[in-house]
């Protein structure tokens, strides 16, 4: 069916030579991109490839440094959401852009109210909202409900309804499926097929490559701010797309380290949490680095939070050094010998206005204090200085406020906090997110060094090269379960394909171990032909 629609019409939206720089990072390096009327055009790429920036420029949320955006032959002024909207571009952002205190009907029309004699025509808005909700397979009664009272997945659908409310010609969906259930995704796809048949061009961003083969007509792959390919989806396999995404970059795996034999220090068995992950079992030995790799929304973050007692699991067991533990709070986890580097540093990690010394010692105050009540400032400074040297934090001294450091150095400070008392188990979530390349290598060396000194390290990452480089074993998580395991030195494309849903119909609904075996098999000898039945 794709071929006919592709033939119809010239490009509806055309980008030419679009560039965008953020500080020192060139996010887009001259991208050409076009969307035809009546196609679903998938946009894929690894984190940081430039997809989000491209979307922001098309939707007018940001202006390009160079290059043009044309709608139906007319160049749009940059950086104007209003102009993009007038031209018929509607965007559904990853984070639902909704207003909790307003009812759904008003949210749908906010900024573009239906009016009668200058006043908001609530009755008309309500009627149209009910119509739209029906079309999206949602309960029309939701029209009067405040958005704050809706579950998150339904909010996402409401924001999609909002995009449909205004007869858009180009519809941008940024990871719409990340928080939707399979059934909700089916409904979404039905709707997309219907708008496609009405000549709307859809830009569909997703990490889940298995979805793309179902819904998209063409796929554009981005890497490092450039467009590396645009092809009809039918011509590509998931593995080929994955290969285009990671490129032919050297695998960059660190030297294989000798992992001492021994019993697992961290052992999870059958951990489940409703709506987040199911039947997760994993083991990490002393001195071993295990990576938990998954795409955004796969559930890796939830697993990490469960281990650390932030969102405890509903069932399953957890052993640290042979002792069963049930962390219900982070303090429990720390007491059990777990240390964690949380994923969202801004929220959970650093006290920006405080000194490096404070940031390192917080959480270890009993160790650093005399008689457990009085913090020994001199000792705090001494410990901080020691770490500044040891992990090469680039800062004038321990009194420097952390907020003034670069992202990579902030990260090292948070890492240092976990090292004051060497924990037997270290859980690192996205340890190099938002960190520049040089600092990244240093952090990686640090992590490997910790393992060499005997810590059991679990790295939770959506950064594929990182997972492969650091890990002695890579566990791939998809849809809340561990679906594959790869040994050190696996090919990036294989791991990505497993995470993105290649052979997605074969591995699920079995134990983690069995899934892992199958995943490893795929990694070894998988051809491009075994996804036929998905199409």
Partner 1 sequence: MTALARPWTRRPAAGAIEGQEAVLIGVIALLWTALGLSVDTFFTASNLQNILATVAPVTIVGVGMTAVIVTAGIDVSVGSTMAVVMVIVAQQLRDGGLAFAPAVGLALLVGGVLGLINGALVGYGRVHPIIITFGTLNLYRFVALQIFGGREVAGVPGTLGPLGGGAEGRTFGLPHSWLLAVALAALMWAYMRHVPTGRHLYAIGGDAEAARLAGVRVTRRLLTVYAVTGLLAGLAACCMIGGGGLVAQSAGTGMELQVIAAVVIGGTSIQGGRGTVLGTVLGALLVGTVTSAVTLLSWPNELTSLFIGVFILVAVGSDLLRERRRRSL
Residues at the site binding partner 1, with contacts judged by CB under 8 A: 59, 61, 81-82, 85, 91, 93, 97-103, 106, 110-113, 115, 118-120, 122, 134, 136-139, 141-142, 144-146, 148-149, 151, 154, 157, 183-184, 186-187, 190
To partner 1, the closest distance from the beta carbon of 57 in angstroms equals 14
Which helix or strand (DSSP H or E) is residue 315 part of?
strand 315-320
Give the C-alpha separation, 201 to 41, whole Å: 7
Q: Which residues contact 408 (CB under 8 A, 6 or more apart)?
A: 432, 435, 436, 438, 439, 440, 442, 443
Q: In this complex, which beta carbon is closest to partner 1, that of residue 99 or of residue 374?
A: 99
User: What's the Rg (C-alpha) of the chain?
Assistant: 25
To partner 1, the closest distance from the beta carbon of 140 in angstroms equals 8
To partner 1, the closest distance from the beta carbon of 533 in angstroms equals 23
Q: Is 179 left (phi over 0), alpha (psi -120 to 50) or beta?
A: alpha
User: Which whole-number Å values give the CA distances from 428 to 266, 341, 345, 352, 463, in the listed order?
Assistant: 14, 5, 12, 20, 13
To partner 1, the closest distance from the beta carbon of 167 in angstroms equals 15
To partner 1, the closest distance from the beta carbon of 184 in angstroms equals 6
Give the C-alpha separation, 45 to 196, whole Å: 23
Give the C-alpha separation, 127 to 105, whole Å: 9
For 364, the token pair is 């270890």
Q: At what angle do helices 437-452 and 407-419 cross, to 10 degrees?
A: 10
Q: In this complex, which beta carbon is closest to partner 1, that of residue 79 or of residue 232?
A: 79
**In the chain, what is the greatest distance between 2 CA atoms, to the nearest angstrom?**
79
Q: In this complex, which beta carbon is closest to partner 1, that of residue 103 or of residue 299?
A: 103
Q: In this complex, which beta carbon is closest to partner 1, that of residue 124 or of residue 365?
A: 124
CB–CB of 284/232 below 8 Å?
no
Q: In this complex, which beta carbon is closest to partner 1, that of residue 105 or of residue 470?
A: 105
Q: In this complex, which beta carbon is closest to partner 1, that of residue 108 or of residue 425?
A: 108
To partner 1, the closest distance from the beta carbon of 85 in angstroms equals 6
To partner 1, the closest distance from the beta carbon of 176 in angstroms equals 14
Q: In this complex, which beta carbon is closest to partner 1, that of residue 192 or of residue 420?
A: 192
């Amino acid at each position: 069916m794709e071929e006919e629609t592709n033939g119809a019409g010239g490009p509806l939206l055309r980008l030419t030579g679009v560039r965008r720089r953020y500080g020192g990072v060139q996010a887009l390096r001259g991208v050409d991109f076009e969307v035809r009327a009546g196609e679903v055009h998938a946009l894929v790429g690894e984190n940081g490839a430039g997809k989000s920036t491209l979307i922001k420029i098309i939707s007018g949320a940001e202006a390009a440094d160079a290059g043009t955006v044309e709608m139906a032959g007319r160049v749009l002024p940059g950086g104007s959401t209003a102009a993009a909207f007038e031209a018929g571009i509607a965007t559904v952002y990853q984070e639902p852009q909704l207003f909790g205190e307003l009812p759904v009907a008003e949210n749908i029309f906010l900024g573009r109210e239906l009016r009668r004699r200058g006043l908001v025509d609530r009755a008309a808005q309500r009627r149209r909202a009910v119509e739209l909700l029906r079309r999206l397979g949602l309960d029309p009664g939701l029209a009067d409900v405040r958005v704050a009272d809706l579950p998150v997945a339904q909010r996402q659908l409401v924001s999609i309804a909002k995009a449909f409310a205004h007869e858009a010609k180009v519809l941008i969906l940024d990871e719409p499926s990340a928080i939707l259930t399979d059934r909700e995704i089916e409904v979404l796809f039905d709707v997309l097929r219907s708008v496609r048949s009405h000549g709307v061009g859809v830009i569909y961003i997703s990490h889940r490559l298995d979805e793309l083969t179902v819904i998209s007509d063409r796929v554009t792959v981005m890497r490092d701010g450039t467009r590396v390919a645009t092809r009809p989806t039918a011509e590509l396999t998931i593995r080929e797309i994955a290969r285009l995404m990671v490129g032919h970059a050297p695998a960059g795996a660190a030297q294989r380290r000798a992992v001492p034999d021994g019993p697992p220090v961290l052992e999870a068995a059958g951990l489940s949490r409703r709506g987040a992950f199911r039947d997760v079992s994993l083991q990490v030995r002393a001195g071993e680095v295990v990576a938990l790799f998954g795409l955004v929304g796969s559930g890796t973050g939830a697993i990490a939070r469960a281990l650390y007692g932030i969102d405890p699991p509903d069932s399953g067991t957890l052993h640290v050094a042979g002792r069963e533990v049930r962390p219900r709070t982070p303090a429990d986890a720390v007491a059990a010998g777990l240390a964690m580097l949380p994923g969202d540093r801004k929220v959970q990690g650093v006290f920006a206005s405080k000194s490096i010394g404070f940031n390192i010692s917080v959480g270890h105050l009993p160790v650093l204090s005399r008689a457990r009540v009085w913090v020994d400032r001199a000792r705090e400074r001494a410990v901080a200085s020691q770490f500044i040297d040891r992990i090469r934090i680039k800062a004038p001294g321990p009194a420097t406020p952390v907020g003034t450091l670069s992202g990579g150095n902030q990260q090292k400070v948070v890492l240092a906090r976990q090292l004051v008392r060497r924990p037997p188990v270290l859980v690192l979530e996205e340890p190099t997110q938002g960190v520049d390349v040089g600092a990244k290598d240093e952090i990686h060396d640090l992590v490997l060094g910790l393992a060499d000194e005997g810590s059991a390290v679990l790295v939770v990452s959506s950064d594929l090269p990182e997972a492969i480089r650091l890990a002695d074993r890579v566990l791939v998580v998809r849809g809340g379960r561990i679906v594959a395991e790869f040994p050190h030195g696996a090919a990036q494309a294989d791991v990505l394909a497993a995470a993105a849903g290649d052979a997605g119909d074969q591995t699920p609904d079995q134990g983690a171990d069995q899934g892992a075996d199958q995943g490893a098999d795929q990694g070894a000898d998988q051809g491009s032909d075994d996804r036929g039945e998905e199409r």
